[in-house]
Amino acid sequence: RKEVEQDPGPFNVPEGATVAFNCTYSNSASQSFFWYRQDCRKEPKLLMSVYSSGNEDGRFTAQLNRASQYISLLIRDSKLSDSATYLCVVIISSTGNQFYFGTGTSLTVIP
Amino acid sequence: DADVTQTPRNRITKTGKRIMLECSQTKGHDRMYWYRQDPGLGLRLIYYSFDVKDINKGEISDGYSVSRQAQAKFSLSLESAIPNQTALYFCATSRGGAGETQYFGPGTRLLVL
């Protein structure tokens, strides 16, 4: 079983739409959570950390549900520039703080 | 200048050849990582190093070796390349400690014929 699971999509949404991605993790020792963004043929870049209380950065909102072991990313008012693959990442303390990456969810925002 | 650099950016090689991918960083981070990325499989950890004297195998280390020549340099070698090692390879660094995140190099696209 993979440590991190994501719906690969693709998600195709019109400009201005709201879109949400979920990611589930299997190890309860997961201690830190992130969303990364990866553009085609480029390196992943940190989008935002995910805190237990939930956090917001402009149009992006991340939430963590420890009881159900999932994290989510909500994008409001989608822009064409949001088109990318979004990677869910967890750090698991019982594995020496290794990073585990989901396979990514592909988003295309359509004009 | 980029904080994490990788050379070469693209490489075509033949089966059986030895190849080295290099990674350098100016972030001053102790921790460095090598990943490969394949379509549909996401990022998979090959090797990681938490300091100059520390080398650890990741999920898919077979067929690869690494060298941590200095805090700023971490090289990945394919001793005898095979076609299923064709992939996009990323180096990453992290500071360690609470709330750490990873910073990636631009990637090396490797094709083994």
3-state secondary structure of B93: strand
pLDDT in tens, B2-60: 699 999 999 999 999 999 999 999 999 999 999 999 987 889 999 999 999 899 999 89
Q: Do B45 and A32 touch (CB under 8 A)?
A: no
Give contacts of A101 with chain B, Cβ < 8 Å.
Answer: 35, 42-43
Of A79, A73, A44, A39, give the one whose Cα is nearest residue A56: A73
Chain centroid offset of residue A35 CA: 4
Give the residue from chain A lying closest to B48, CA to CA.
A98
Q: Taking a C-beta distance cutoff of 8 angstroms, is the pair A21, A11 a contact? A: yes
pLDDT in tens, A68-77: 999 999 999 9
- The residue type at A60: F
Of A31, A45, A95, give the one whose Cα is nearest residue B102: A45
Average pLDDT over residues B58-67: 95
pLDDT in tens, A11-48: 999 999 999 999 999 988 888 999 999 999 899 999 99
Res. A94: pLDDT tops 80: no
Rounded to the nearest angstrom, the minimum Cα separation between B41 and chain A is 6
Does B104 contact A at CB distance below 8 Å?
A: yes
Q: What is the reported pLDDT for A50?
A: 92
B20 CB contacts (<8 Å, ≥6 apart)? B75, B76, B77, B78
- Strands B19-25 and B73-78 come out as antiparallel
Does B48 contact A at CB distance below 8 Å?
A: yes
DSSP structural state of residue B95: -
Res. B106: pLDDT tops 90: yes
Q: What is the reported pLDDT for A52?
A: 86
Phi, psi of B60 (to 5 degrees): -135, 60
Q: Do B104 and A49 touch (CB under 8 A)?
A: no
B64 CB contacts (<8 Å, ≥6 apart)? B34, B46, B47, B76, B77, B78
Phi, psi of A95 (to 5 degrees): -110, 25
DSSP structural state of residue A67: T
Q: Do A99 and B104 touch (CB under 8 A)?
A: no
Place of tokens 């490489």: B11
